[in-house]
Structure 1
């Protein structure tokens, strides 16, 4: 409150009354000026009427026109362009402007003093005679409006019953109907006021004074403005309020807005013209100053009361984002009240200094800036909601292109960031245009402005087209690789489509960036030449990279391996997870991922190409019947064909017979032909069947073993036991 009182004291300080006395109509100064002007006109008439004096005047004018150099001229001074001179001129202009402002403020109070002193008792008596009819018209106007407002409020309350849980469209319709009822009360009271002024407030029935008309028109403008605020806030009917504002805040803001609107509106539209036309313009100007100072003081009080609430609200909004805008909101929350008070003070000082030109410009620029900010916020919010809603693709598209929605949503943060910055730049340009800081409309109409705008738009369109092409090609590859639709892609198609997508993405990025830079005026010829030099340097300095790429190209042409194949390359065996033009990624049996550049690959062993074999090599004892062993292997194969692995077997058991004589076993080999990649599971199942059949038929599968006998026991029995790896047990010696 101390700050508010100090501000009010500064605004209403009588010390400014020491400024220069302004020119007032009807004073001695005005009379002297009029007399001098009349004398000069009479002298000019006498010169023109006298022939000799007229000829002398014409001759003098011809000499001045024919010999302009004869007139005394001053030598042109050398222009001083130093920084000291420029600073001095700037400070001189600033001091003169401040002095003019102070004189204007002092003149206002001098007007008040002169007006009050110069007003005689007769003028006051005449003014009081005028006030009577105005008060009568005001009684009829405001009395009827009060009754109509009570009736309209009762109807609106009854209409709002049960709308708290209604839909948004129904609430909007009810709010519109309430606004129309309020508007009808204003218009009807305005009409009743005219009826009263014409028939009861005038000296002659059917005629009214200008003062009653001023009151009625001021009422219409002020009450319609308050109606707009009431329609937005709906302080008494929360069911009709479309903004997310609670009852206390709505009542608070409408209370202060309505008071400020009434104070300023009725003063400038009715009271000030009434005083200026019937008493004195000085008194009218003083009343305006007092009202504007009061309105500014009320605004400062409102700002100080809501300082913490606005800071907390901006802080909550800033916590939702961690970018430059969030930091700006935090900074704005700390100092917004200082900026608002400084703006109000500047607005008041500008109005004091030049109310005819500066104040309308400042108010217009402020209104345009607010509209630009509101439009920017609405555009960003609408685009964000539209994008987030439009990204929920239908079910059939999700089934065909499961990654399309994910890919689109991945672009949303970047796209929204770009859109947000574009809107911010547009809002800043609109604000600069409103405050005459930058004539964007004039610049864009020039050839240079149109060229720059066309270049930027062309570059943006190129980037958008590149993004659309990337999404289209990636979606097509995804659809082609989807096994649920169309033909099932082969391993080679998976590999080639993946390589095509990578190559297309790189080429699209390079060409898109080059074309966009070319559109905004960047000379891309040096970039292309530099890229060629860099490529040549890479070719000489990165021989391994070149070898990787060349080897990878031939591997792809020869179709040695594809994604999903089980291969052995560079001593690593596993499944090919990723295949690029430079390297192959293999995951082995233990889950370890190996990235192998093609320059280190001497040979590639593909274990799943065409078909596969499970080779069963079994060791049996030397005393086993080989025919029985073979039959047991065939019987185990028959059991395997009765299991779920029969669909993986392409041919009958291929018996190779005895292939080797070992130290303790005879090796019998057979082979099973399977589909690619199923030889391992089929072999494991066949081994289980072999183990079961051999146990049933008593076929021994020998294995090395050692029998150990204590040395003392061996000497007591007279025997020496030697260790042996034969299946018959230890040898006796």
Structure 2
């Protein structure tokens, strides 16, 4: 909403600035008769022979006429009462016509008054009479100004009244009341000007007008600078359509910080304008800033602003990196890792925010003159006490953070951690919960986990190991194993789970009772056990069918001897 309002103000200002060349050309055209009149007038003065007093009167009248004519041409170029498309001041047609009518009366009255004063001096009117006439003429001029203020008070009050959204705030309500009664201080200022002039205070009248004009110029320049800087800020913080679609989070973050940066720019312009106003009013604001106190205040404010900017930039940079990592996980199909990192994001941001906040707070305290050494010492003592008291807790937290970030395990994985094996049922930042094969639950703090063995990481090798009798045909047995693996890879139940044929390694061991044949089948982690069990079953049936004798590890010992009665002698 603020960006839209700034864009509208910028559009109106640019629309007015585009009219300046046309208005300048129009002013030149309207000044052509003035130039012609001036040339003819000065030529006539040079040709005609007049008395010095008469020449002074005509010269003064000519100068006043040329000045008034030029000023009216300038006012017509600014207000353009009859041509709204060329108007340089944002106002309605009725207000522009009335304002121009009043200003024309003031200019003509001032020109006539100046001519009358010159005429009075030319006819040698007494000085007191000239001064009295001048006071009267200036009073009439100020009364005309008061009449213009009274006549235009409602129109100007309407333009000065803040919008409805600001009138709901205390400051907005105060500004609304001040805008409604603006004509009271304006009338007071008008009357005060005449009193200062009538009292013949040295340089008083000119100085007040100089202060008024310098204040108006400073406020106008500050307003134009605000429009330009806010436009530049909007351009810098507005992503193009393609980038906004590819980086929606960046666009949202920029949109969130725009009001803050806008207020910072606004307050900076207010401070600069205030310094310029104080300097224009004769108060040595710049000298105070160059003094010891001013330099310390400026240096402290600059250090605080730089610290805050670095903290915000660092926080947003880390947040942006983490969010981009989440996007990469989502794009690569790693939804579990993306969800886990999203879970950790608030924790990481909170820790980072607390750390940066502490740094900024200590920086601010040190810059405003607070001795932070006792605070640092106290914080160190508290930190050491907490560190010793919650050492295991901190270790659980840090180890858990890194294990989760490295995706060492997920819910549903079969892992061995802390010497215990089971299926992961729950993961937190501090503990791991395993469901063992017998149904028992193991809750393991991460501080006791030094090694994690995870069997669910995409691959699981089905081990092949069979002991056959030494008398069996080894090569034939190996061919049977390979044929079974090939047949299983053609079946729908095992095709996706088996990543390779039988990798036959050969005879692994030989003994008097058995010959060990070894190998493996590369499978997915989820299909490993199903493939291994089905393969073992088929090998058993095939060996039994093909006459391949499995090794018998039991040894049969047969004792061979003679009949005890055969050794006895003949019976008597």
Q: TM-score, normalised by structure 1?
A: 0.51
Which of residues 267, 274, 286 is equivalent to 1:441?
286
TM superposition shift of 1:352: 2.0
Partner of 1:297: 143
1:402 equivalent to 2:236? Answer no
Partner of 1:528: 376
Partner of 1:184: 32
Partners of 2:402 and 2:142 lie apart in 1 by 81
Matched-pair contact (CA < 8 Å) for 1:272–1:288: yes
Partners of 1:472 and 1:408 lie apart in 2 by 12
Matched-pair contact (CA < 8 Å) for 1:201–1:208: no
Partners of 1:184 and 1:427 lie apart in 2 by 38
1:342 equivalent to 2:199? Answer no
1:276 equivalent to 2:127? Answer no
Matched-pair contact (CA < 8 Å) for 1:567–1:607: no
| Structure-2 change in CA distance of 1:171 and 1:314 (3 Å) | closer
1:372 equivalent to 2:233? Answer no
1:534-573 map, 5 Å: 535=383, 548-559=393-404, 565-566=410-411
| Structure-2 change in CA distance of 1:460 and 1:601 (3 Å) | closer
5+ residue gaps, structure 1, are 1-165, 585-597, 614-633, 653-672, 680-733
| Structure-2 change in CA distance of 1:410 and 1:295 (3 Å) | same
| Structure-2 change in CA distance of 1:520 and 1:189 (3 Å) | farther
Partners of 2:455 and 2:148 lie apart in 1 by 80
Partner of 2:197: 351
TM superposition shift of 1:454: 3.4
Partners of 2:121 and 2:80 lie apart in 1 by 37
Partner of 2:301: 456
Partner of 2:227: 381
| Structure-2 change in CA distance of 1:529 and 1:225 (3 Å) | farther
User: 1:183-223, CA deviations, whole angstroms, 9 ceiling, x for partnerless residues?
Assistant: 3332222222222333347359xx97122222222233333
| Structure-2 change in CA distance of 1:187 and 1:557 (3 Å) | same
User: 1:229-268, CA deviations, whole angstroms, 9 ceiling, x for partnerless residues?
Assistant: 222111122222233322222111111122213323552x
Partners of 1:308 and 1:375 lie apart in 2 by 26
Partners of 1:197 and 1:382 lie apart in 2 by 50
TM superposition shift of 1:514: 3.1
| Structure-2 change in CA distance of 1:188 and 1:470 (3 Å) | farther
TM superposition shift of 1:481: 4.1
Matched-pair contact (CA < 8 Å) for 2:326–2:342: no
Which of residues 513, 518, 525 is equivalent to 2:366?
518
Matched-pair contact (CA < 8 Å) for 2:456–2:525: no
Partner of 1:202: 50
Partners of 2:184 and 2:363 lie apart in 1 by 48
Matched-pair contact (CA < 8 Å) for 1:311–1:333: yes
Matched-pair contact (CA < 8 Å) for 1:444–1:453: yes
Partners of 1:583 and 1:365 lie apart in 2 by 72
| Structure-2 change in CA distance of 1:565 and 1:307 (3 Å) | farther
Partners of 1:319 and 1:560 lie apart in 2 by 47
Partner of 2:476: none
Matched-pair contact (CA < 8 Å) for 1:233–1:254: yes
TM superposition shift of 1:358: 1.5
| Structure-2 change in CA distance of 1:225 and 1:512 (3 Å) | farther
Which of residues 213, 230, 239 is equivalent to 2:76?
230
Matched-pair contact (CA < 8 Å) for 1:380–1:423: yes
> What is the RMSD of the two structures over their aligned residues, measured on CA atoms?
5.0
1:493-508 map, 5 Å: 494=341, 498=345, 503-508=351-356
Partner of 1:414: 260
TM superposition shift of 1:383: 2.2
5+ residue gaps, structure 2, are 1-13, 414-423, 433-443, 461-486, 501-522, 529-572
| Structure-2 change in CA distance of 1:449 and 1:233 (3 Å) | same
TM superposition shift of 1:279: 0.9
More off after superposition, 501-510 vs 379-388: 501-510
TM superposition shift of 1:347: 2.0
Matched-pair contact (CA < 8 Å) for 2:77–2:88: no
Q: Secondary structure at the match of 1:483?
A: helix
Q: TM-score, normalised by structure 2?
A: 0.64
TM superposition shift of 1:516: 4.6
How many matched pairs? 450
